[in-house]
Structure 1
């Protein structure tokens, strides 16, 4: 199947050219791009800008699946964000900031929603994505050992950009940037490929040596980032993958898992002198200093949300002690703080609602079920980690693209003629050979 995927017309590594350009843009440092009237146009932004209107036409044409509730949630969130930014900065500044947010948010979602429309498309995406992550190890392993940021500084130097900033080592290794602007970006980009490698390429078979080698490669790339956020993304995926492997034959295994999470939450809340959020942040960060800072961010951030619940504060400053940084290492809290609780609810509804709707589909072929696990577990890992890190630049558009890339599982039809989910034909009966009639004369 892999050979047929890579030979399709209009594709690179089996994925549509526009998706390949989008991924190439995500892996470029911010120095690669142009400034237009004070607006920074990175490579992936230019791809989304060019394709935004054509993708809207494609969406409402109905040729790529009829528009549905989750498309409305995505566009609704982007529209509310625009209103919040206009409320903050006035019409001109709000439209400038809100316009690029709409392009990044809705454009990334639509790119995955419209260009990944079948199991073949999804497998090609998984194959290309994992290949990129594993291929970068040829540069990031030497980077971790020599402290020379080969990809980032090489690309930035060729475009006149700044070299990678100094970041202290961890575990005796240089924290690797890859081609990204920060080790967290590289780590989350790598960790997000784990479930794709395990469920789609290795097909959950530990004896699939080629597929499992890719799984190990993805885990190695994540480790080299030496960042807590990517480690959480990886561990959460490994946990739910292990749960599915052990309890895969039990129908209520996911209700059991949610009940387990609820019991753990209640036990921490009852028997600890700290809130469950405090405990989570403390044990999923590398240092007590960063854990304490995230706790303070949560306290002051939620207070800001309480003061501005409907439209948020836009890109304005938020109330905090003068010695605290303005960096908000909590993606979910930042969305609520900037754009208000209604916009936050639409984003959460988009992701959780789509996962729930896809999970309720019955009668899917085994390949589709593995793809569903890969997609949902990837989003689960990123979602949990996003409570301790901010998804910015490449991470933000990657997250929205991945949400959209699973929408085909919601409305795509299983067509036997395509070879995926094709029923096995029953063997034809061999007709009995009757002896020729005997002549009497």
Structure 2
């Protein structure tokens, strides 16, 4: 495939800069007053207005319902933050939230517009994850945070904080601010490697090597959240491989989840959420803390259902941390249930609409599986971890990067003979001669 103009390794330059910015610690950036501008924030801020103009111009497909859901959520979050902190503070914190949320979504929505774009993105993403192993494997073995501390030393940032080892290994940061960030970033590349690069073929040696590389990178984070992201993707990929010829396979999968949920609810003295958190975290202390966060967090949502509490404090025991390790609960608590519903509707609605599209070519089907399974893994893990900084914008970018599957025109069928011109006119038979 010929190299396209304005790309780096086949990926649009602005997307490449965005990914480069995500892989920088938060110490890399500038401060304007009380506003921290990290590298990826600068990219989104510069591109935000041009992307809005492009969206409403229709040059990358007409605006649709899911664009409205994304912009609607961002607008409701702004209203909540103004309601909580007043006009000036609300505009500052709400403005940067709009840039991150809507900007990251629009970046994926507008710059990933074809199967070729998506494959180039998958290749660049997976190669980045596997390439970082050259630094993170020594990091896990030597406890020297090569990338994070090396970048911090150049920019004057703080070194990586101390975190206890797990399984005899140092929990790797990579270039990120926390092992969870590095782990989820790595785990999110699993389906892209398997479905797009390996093309679901276990005999594809190079592709499967990349799949194993992604799994190893995730393992080095030694974090439960990334492990859940990886396991959920591997599970649904295995289900698709075994049940691939069955038209109702996804309905059966949801029915299986419903049966499992009902059995846990009936035969356990704990709720399904309590069981999930207990068995998908490394320590009982961490599990207990997440359960308490869920109980006090849902109570706060019940007290402030419409506009949430913004960035304000929430009711909890004095000995509890204010860290909320549940992304979905935090969105509802901070911005209210309507904003939460718009985000859930954006993600689930887009996945459902893309899943209903018929007649897709095989590369499009593999891209659809990779995209949907990646979002599924992150969505499940987000019930036990918070998606913040680079992880937050990555999630929104990934949602937007699959929108082309919803509205892009299908390619012409292979083997269909081309029409070389207008059809020849049909000649009428001469009238019968009466004489």
The TM-score with structure 1 as length reference comes to 0.94
Post-superposition shift, 1:423?
Answer: 1.3
Matches within 5 A, 1:81-92: 81-92=77-88
Asked if 1:211 corresponds to 2:202, the answer is no
Equivalent in 261, 266, 278 of residue 265 of structure 1: 261
Indicate the residue corresponding to 1:194 in structure 2.
190
Indicate the residue corresponding to 2:150 in structure 1.
154
Structure 1: runs of 5 or more not aligned: 417-421, 428-441
Query: For 1:149-202, what per-residue CA distance to the aligned partner results, in whole angstroms no more than 9, with x for missing partners?
Result: 000000010000010000000000000000000000000000000000000000
Asked if 1:38 corresponds to 2:34, the answer is yes
Post-superposition shift, 1:424?
Answer: 2.4
Asked if 1:280 corresponds to 2:271, the answer is no
Measure the CA separation in 1 of the matches of 2:416 and 2:285. 63
Measure the CA separation in 2 of the matches of 1:13 and 1:157. 29
Post-superposition shift, 1:236?
Answer: 0.1
Aligned residue pairs, count: 418
Measure the CA separation in 1 of the matches of 2:162 and 2:361. 49
Measure the CA separation in 1 of the matches of 2:100 and 2:364. 28
Equivalent in 371, 386, 396 of residue 390 of structure 1: 386
Asked if 1:251 corresponds to 2:247, the answer is yes
Matches within 5 A, 1:7-406: 7-406=3-402
Measure the CA separation in 2 of the matches of 1:426 and 1:285. 57
Measure the CA separation in 2 of the matches of 1:131 and 1:8. 19
SS of the counterpart of 1:40? strand
SS of the counterpart of 2:30? strand
Post-superposition shift, 1:415?
Answer: 2.5
Post-superposition shift, 1:8?
Answer: 1.5
Measure the CA separation in 2 of the matches of 1:335 and 1:79. 14
Measure the CA separation in 1 of the matches of 2:359 and 2:97. 38
Measure the CA separation in 2 of the matches of 1:200 and 1:62. 28
Measure the CA separation in 1 of the matches of 2:237 and 2:74. 32
SS of the counterpart of 1:173? coil
Structure 2: runs of 5 or more not aligned: 419-435
Query: For 1:202-244, what per-residue CA distance to the aligned partner results, in whole angstroms no more than 9, with x for missing partners?
Result: 0000000000000000000000000000000000000000000
Post-superposition shift, 1:47?
Answer: 0.2
Equivalent in 408, 412, 416 of residue 412 of structure 1: 408
Asked if 1:424 corresponds to 2:420, the answer is no
Measure the CA separation in 1 of the matches of 2:327 and 2:379. 9
RMSD: 0.9
SS of the counterpart of 2:256? helix
SS of the counterpart of 2:344? helix
Query: For 1:382-436, what per-residue CA distance to the aligned partner results, in whole angstroms no more than 9, with x for missing partners?
Result: 00000000000000000000000000000000122xxxxx412579xxxxxxxxx
Measure the CA separation in 2 of the matches of 1:94 and 1:426. 59
* Structure 1 residue ranges, 4+ long, deviating more than 3 angstroms after superposition: none
Measure the CA separation in 1 of the matches of 2:76 and 2:360. 36
Deviates more, 1:174-183 or 1:7-16: 7-16
Query: For 1:40-83, what per-residue CA distance to the aligned partner results, in whole angstroms no more than 9, with x for missing partners?
Result: 00000000000000000000000100000000000000000000
Indicate the residue corresponding to 1:419 in structure 2.
none
